[in-house]
Structure 1
Amino acid sequence: MLEIIIDNRDGYLWDISGIVSDVTYKTARIGRASSMEITFLKGGLYEAKEFKYTMGDVVRIQFGNTPMFLGYIFVIDDGRDEQVKITAYDQLRYLMVTEYYQGTNKTATEVLEHFVDRLQLKMEVLIDTEYKIPTIREDNVKAMDIICGALESTLTATGERFLFFDNFGWLTLRNVKNMVLDLSLGDDSLMFDYKLKTSIEDSYNVVWLTQDNTDTGVRTVYPAQDSANVAKWGFLKLVQNIDEKANAAQIKRTLENLIQLKNRVGRSFQIDSIGDIRVRAGCYLHIDIKEIGIDNYYMVNECTHKFDGDEHTMTLELVDIRKDDKKVTVVT
């Protein structure tokens, strides 16, 4: 079912599908490149003497007729025995370099396009995230973190969540609202195990936005809180600085988005199930587990596909990132 090709970039293409013993494919929603670990047997009776694999070789994998992964060899684990394991990463790996960026009124799309051009990567035509970030000043920071920071600023200001990833050799940017799969996992569908975790370790029921006036030296604080949750959880405060040029409407909207995003119990869980190659980090899918009262859509935070012979399984780390509909009074 898997077609695995190594391209030495010297005119040779090697189809190693028949000698591969297992494959592990991992995707993450934020801050990491997709990875592909491939274990195969070397030194077979019919192995061509020209066959080789080295750093930077291209790895292309299809699942049936569906393009699955295109990346580059970064790690080779070899030895005297017959097994070799190579690890390849997609283009996002090249965004792990230390960079700098300064910009005014730039969208997250423009920030991503800047680094794609600077690092000579390939990308599709990107959607426009629209929100203009007032000021970005980053130095000695990974390009990946600068891009993720721009997307996080967009989320905080607008409530819109975007995902960028490598789509078989082309960097793309999508609104997660358009990444809902027609797939349900649970009691009666594909799942064979789960683990549930609830936590308020990363929750906040009080948010303060601070705004500095460089002319007067005065700092203004704009607070929002959920008093009922303060009574239940205690005082969990988040303080963030907002750009000096932000107006009252922008401050109010940012406060509302932050308190809705942060003021709730975090629920995450792991599901082990039969594999479906459509599933990757960043997509939504339906979860139905009656024992714990879950019947809703969740986002895949991390996804691991494992192929062992004819067996295809996947392990999903799922998060509930839906906005809470409860309205919290914002004081400005």
Structure 2
Amino acid sequence: MELLVESNGVIYDMTSCCTKLSLSESLNDGAGSLDFTYLYDGTEIIQNGSYVRLCNTSETDGVFFGRVFKTGMGQDKEVKVKAYDQIRYCKAKDTITIENETLTDLVTRMCNFFQLQTGSLMPTGYVLQAKPQCDKTWLDIIYGAVGDTLIGTEHMYCLRDEYGSVCLRDIADLQLPLIIGDNSLCYEYDWEKSIDDEFYNQVKLVSGNKKTGHADVYITKDTGSIEKYGMLQYYEKLENDSDPAKAKAKANALLKLYNHEKETLTFKCMGDLSVRAGNSIYGSIEDIRLNRRLIVQKVTHDFLPVHTMTLEVMTG
């Protein structure tokens, strides 16, 4: 690995002097971050705003590009530095109106507003419901649009920075030919299956009706699931006079999305730089009857003393 930092116009090669180096990112949950530490030798401490570049062997296979947001040192003279990619700037709050826009349009507008470099922005084709968004961060609005697009199209999209370029990708296009599990990279795992969080087998949507003066109620349910687990209801109040066909379609989509046990699985394994949040890998562990493709929700790469990674995954 090669770690370069540009501070006050001077480029420092930090590759050999780092004592810790890790890269973390989560699926649709903020910017990716690079954390590293080094021992202070009396020269200039890296300043906030400095550019940071992490490459495998050269700039052509870049891994991370961002800027320093935190730096500090203790009595042990170990300097700790945290850098984020450019998505960090999208935490700013604003008032935004969505009107006749797709998720792709919204991401493009955000990048133009913050003057961010863009890469591949996958067209989604799904027009979002028109509504004002007040006092929310741009990222919260984007992630809300990701969820709305998922319900409307059954396609999940990933917003991430790829070496200095903001990209919007369809999760279906991010499959890796990589097996993790028994006898393949993994040396430790932790697994859990739950109906305690984000599991619903009945969906109830309610919309006010100005003509009748009463509420329109839309309910869809899975009786077999209710018999097996008990009734667990999702409730949402829609805008007044919502279109009945769209309300019914949304109820059905929500039931399909939430009517399954939530499975969480964490791998600790040998590192592979191709693995990023949003990518999918194939999981294979005989003891828990795991033999299917999994989406990486969060990944942390630790490069010292050897390259390992911790993955939090979800079923695709």
Q: 1:26 aligns with which of 24, 27, 31?
A: 24
CA shift for structure 1 position 189: 0.5
CA distance in 1, matches of 2:275, 2:120: 23
Closer, same or farther: CA 249–216 of 1 in aligned 2, 3 Å? closer
Which residue of structure 1 aligns with residue 191 of structure 2? 196
Which aligned pairs between 1:237-252 and structure 2 lie closer than 5 A? 237-242=233-238, 247-252=243-248
Closer, same or farther: CA 272–12 of 1 in aligned 2, 3 Å? same
**What is the identity, as a one-letter code, of the residue corresponding to 1:36?**
L
Which residue of structure 1 aligns with residue 217 of structure 2? 221
Which residue of structure 1 aligns with residue 48 of structure 2? 55
Which residue of structure 2 aligns with residue 5 of structure 1? 4
Local SS of the residue matching 1:85: strand
Where do 5+ consecutive residues of structure 1 fail to align? 323-332
Residue by residue over 1:100-148, the C-alpha shift from the partner in whole angstroms, topping out at 9 and shown as x without a partner, is: 1112232111222222122222212522111111222211111110110
Normalization by structure 2: what TM-score? 0.93
Normalization by structure 1: what TM-score? 0.89
Is contact 2:209-2:241 (8 Å) kept? no
Q: 2:108 aligns with which of 92, 109, 113?
A: 113
CA shift for structure 1 position 157: 1.5
Is contact 2:98-2:133 (8 Å) kept? no
CA shift for structure 1 position 246: 5.8
CA shift for structure 1 position 28: 0.2
Is contact 1:135-1:243 (8 Å) kept? no
Q: 1:255 aligns with which of 229, 251, 256?
A: 251
Which residue of structure 2 aligns with residue 151 of structure 1? 146
Moved more, 243-252 or 56-65: 243-252
CA shift for structure 1 position 217: 4.1
Moved more, 171-180 or 249-258: 249-258
Kindly indicate whether residue 168 of structure 2 is the aligned counterpart of residue 170 of structure 1.
no
CA distance in 1, matches of 2:87, 2:255: 31
CA distance in 2, matches of 1:177, 1:125: 15
Is contact 2:87-2:160 (8 Å) kept? yes
CA distance in 1, matches of 2:215, 2:132: 20
Kindly indicate whether residue 296 of structure 2 is the aligned counterpart of residue 297 of structure 1.
no
CA distance in 2, matches of 1:243, 1:134: 11
CA distance in 1, matches of 2:213, 2:16: 69
Which residue of structure 2 aligns with residue 136 of structure 1? 131
Local SS of the residue matching 2:136: strand
Which residue of structure 1 aligns with residue 231 of structure 2? 235
CA distance in 2, matches of 1:125, 1:281: 16
Is contact 1:205-1:225 (8 Å) kept? yes
Which residue of structure 2 aligns with residue 325 of structure 1? none
Which residue of structure 2 aligns with residue 39 of structure 1? 37
CA distance in 2, matches of 1:245, 1:122: 41
Moved more, 289-298 or 30-39: 30-39
Is contact 1:224-1:259 (8 Å) kept? yes
Moved more, 83-92 or 129-138: 129-138
CA distance in 2, matches of 1:156, 1:170: 27
Moved more, 22-31 or 74-83: 74-83
Is contact 2:120-2:169 (8 Å) kept? no
Aligned residues: 313
CA distance in 1, matches of 2:206, 2:152: 15
CA distance in 1, matches of 2:237, 2:100: 17
Which residue of structure 2 aligns with residue 100 of structure 1? 95
Kindly indicate whether residue 57 of structure 2 is the aligned counterpart of residue 64 of structure 1.
yes
Local SS of the residue matching 1:118: helix
CA RMSD in angstroms comes to 1.8
Residue by residue over 1:221-258, the C-alpha shift from the partner in whole angstroms, topping out at 9 and shown as x without a partner, is: 11110111112222211122445676454334322221
Which aligned pairs between 1:306-321 and structure 2 lie closer than 5 A? 306-309=302-305, 311-320=306-315
Moved more, 237-246 or 171-180: 237-246
CA distance in 2, matches of 1:128, 1:241: 29
Moved more, 239-248 or 257-266: 239-248
Is contact 1:134-1:245 (8 Å) kept? no
Which residue of structure 2 aligns with residue 77 of structure 1? 72
Local SS of the residue matching 1:133: coil
Which residue of structure 2 aligns with residue 187 of structure 1? 182
CA shift for structure 1 position 53: 1.5
CA shift for structure 1 position 76: 0.7
Local SS of the residue matching 1:157: helix
CA shift for structure 1 position 216: 4.9
